[in-house]
């Protein structure tokens, strides 16, 4: 009798799709689903953390492709909370572009409840916590009608380009173009660049008006993370077809 086909594992025929995010909360829904074929990597916040941690995680490991996911602030008035922006270009100290194949596949992905845009992802060194900061960034990009801002995407794109790993960036909008975040989170970052959450809670306790804003942002984060899960799972299916 013919032998029964063996189930594929990450160490055999399947080369995993790497999914990269700065914070655990952005990857948590994917971790709970425990879907095979995904390599989940948490880098920490900011370019320096990406350069150190992502490089270490990818060294000596094959990856079919890499998706950089996470939250972003809107740099366009059209973008609403929970919408997705697929980075057709990533701007930082230089301009980087994703894999044409991945970009083409992503344009056909539909996510329930979200509008999916192709646009520009801008990476900066500090969190854009105020509408004024976002508007200032947007004023320098008159040729990009759809854009968002984060702190890691350019570093992810640069490392993938260096390692010749096909990549795509997709971000979900956590705060609108005209919206201030409840706190200036840059004031509550540790020496390693990541957020000091106990200090954030302490700041909220002495600034009661910020508490409602933090709860609202928490809800936005959960909404965005859920929509990113849908996007990743549908992209995985599209890539494997």
**Token pair for residue 93?**
């100290």
Using alpha carbons, list the distances in angstroms from residue 91 to 48, 63, 105, 114, 187.
Answer: 16, 24, 21, 24, 25
Q: Which domains does the chain have, with CATH numbers?
A: 17-240 (3.40.50.1580)
Stretch 18-24: mean pLDDT? 94
Kindly report, residue by residue over 170-204, the tens digit of the pLDDT: 999 999 999 999 999 999 999 999 999 999 989 98
Residue 6 pLDDT > 90, yes or no?
A: no
- Banded model confidence at residue 5, pLDDT cuts 50, 70, 90: very low
Chain mean pLDDT for the chain: 90
Q: What is the pLDDT of residues 84-98, one digit of tens each?
A: 999 999 999 999 999
The phi, psi pair for 78, rounded to 5°, reads -70, -25
Nearest Cα to Cα of residue 90 among 130, 50, 53 = 50
pLDDT score of 16? 83
């Amino acid at each position: 009798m013919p032998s029964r086909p063996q189930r594929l594992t990450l160490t055999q025929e399947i080369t995993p799709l790497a999914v990269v995010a700065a914070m655990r909360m952005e990857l948590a829904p994917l971790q709970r689903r425990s879907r095979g074929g995904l390599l989940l990597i948490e880098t920490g916040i900011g370019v320096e953390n990406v350069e150190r941690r992502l490089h270490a995680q990818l060294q000596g490991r094959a990856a079919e492709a890499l998706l950089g996911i996470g939250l972003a602030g809107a740099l366009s008035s059209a973008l609403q909370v929970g919408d997705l922006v697929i980075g057709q270009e990533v701007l930082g100290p230089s301009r980087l572009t994703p894999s044409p194949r991945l970009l083409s596949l992503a344009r056909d992905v539909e996510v329930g409840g979200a509008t999916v845009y192709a646009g520009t992802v801008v990476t900066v060194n500090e969190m854009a916590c105020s509408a004024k900061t976002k508007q200032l960034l947007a004023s320098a990009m008159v040729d990009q009608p759809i854009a968002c801002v984060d702190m890691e995407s350019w570093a992810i794109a640069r490392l993938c380009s260096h390692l010749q790993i096909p990549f795509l960036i997709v971000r979900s909008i956590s705060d609108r173009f005209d919206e201030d975040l409840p706190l200036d989170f840059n004031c509550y970052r540790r020496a390693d660049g990541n957020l000091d959450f106990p200090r954030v809670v302490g700041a909220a306790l002495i600034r009661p008006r910020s508490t409602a804003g933090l709860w609202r942002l928490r809800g936005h984060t959960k909404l965005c993370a859920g929509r990113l899960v849908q996007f990743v799972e549908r992209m995985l299916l599209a890539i494997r077809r």
